[in-house]
Amino acid sequence: MAPTALFDVDGTLLDTNYLHTLAWAEAFAQYGHAPAMARIHASIGMGGDQLLGHVLGQERDRSQDGDISSAQQALYARFWPRLRPFDGAADLLRAVAARGWTVVLASSASDRDLRVMRRALDADDAIAAATGADDVEASKPAPDLVHAALDKTGARGDEAVFIGDTVWDVRSAAAAGVPCIAVLSGGWGELDLRAAGALEVYEDAAALLARLADSALARPPSGHGG
């Protein structure tokens, strides 16, 4: 079995974290909430269910949760024409696949959003599989998304590496027993990512691509027999 590289999409391959932040801020405002943008940004990477509690607190009026999430999705859809991959993102996926890794997109996005993101990324020739919202019961930082992505190829945690941009990615991967390479392109700092357990940290997809031969993606994980 080929080793498996699990790629987060938002903030790792596509420059979308601040667009998500703005859409959430506008959705919150529609329902009378005004959390600091920095607090919202620090929650991007969580699933919407976790994000609402992290931003508004567990004592919030939960009856609004569904409406706020629906508003965010509608507001974010305005940005679809502006979605763009980071420099080197598609080439990174192709280079990793060329080294013998099975490339899986590990996302909890809706099927609709995932289709839009894949079109923007334009690297389907390198992508073997992808997860979506229907594959996940509990969102990051729970390990469910990583387990779902591993299930796409049948790989074990010690046969995989996760590539993400937030502490929620790093913690989710760790909970699933998968090492995580982190990039700074989502807006998190290196100290936070390393404190969460990131194995390696790079500026962005292009920097990881440039140093691929020296990274954890240069060789199969220790648990892989190939």
In a domain, 226, yes or no: no
In terms of domains, do 87 and 60 share one?
Answer: no
> Would the pLDDT of 220 be above 70?
no
> Would the pLDDT of 226 be above 50?
no
Which residue, 60, 81, 102, sits at the end of a domain? 81
Which residue, 81, 105, 135, sits at the end of a domain? 81
Q: How many CB atoms lie within 10 A of CB 145?
A: 29
Joined tokens for residue 191? 């100290």
Work out the percent of the chain whose per-residue pLDDT is above 90: 85
In a domain, 224, yes or no: no
In terms of domains, do 92 and 162 share one?
Answer: yes
In terms of domains, do 27 and 9 share one?
Answer: no
Kindly report the CATH number assigned to the domain that includes residue 212.
Answer: 3.40.50.1000
> Would the pLDDT of 41 be above 60?
yes
In terms of domains, do 23 and 90 share one?
Answer: no
State how far the Cα of 175 lies from the Cα of 203, in Å rounded to an integer.
24
Q: What is the pLDDT of residue 2?
A: 75
Domains held by the chain: number = 2
pTM for this prediction: 0.94
> Would the pLDDT of 223 be above 60?
no
DSSP annotation string for 150-190: HHHHT--GGGEEEEESSHHHHHHHHHTT--EEEESTTS--H
Full domain range(s) for residue 45: 17-81
State how far the Cα of 108 lies from the Cα of 127, in Å rounded to an integer.
16
Q: What is the pLDDT of residue 32?
A: 96
Among the ranges given (27-31, 90-94, 138-142, 162-166), the one the predictor scored with the smallest mean pLDDT: 138-142
In terms of domains, do 67 and 97 share one?
Answer: no
Contact (Cβ atoms closer than 8 angstroms) between residue 80 and residue 19 = no
State how far the Cα of 199 lies from the Cα of 20, in Å rounded to an integer.
26
Q: How many CB atoms lie within 10 A of CB 95?
A: 17
Q: What is the mean pLDDT of residues 35-57?
A: 93
Per-residue pLDDT of 60-116, as tens digits, reads 989 999 999 999 999 999 999 999 999 999 999 999 999 999 999 999 888 899 999
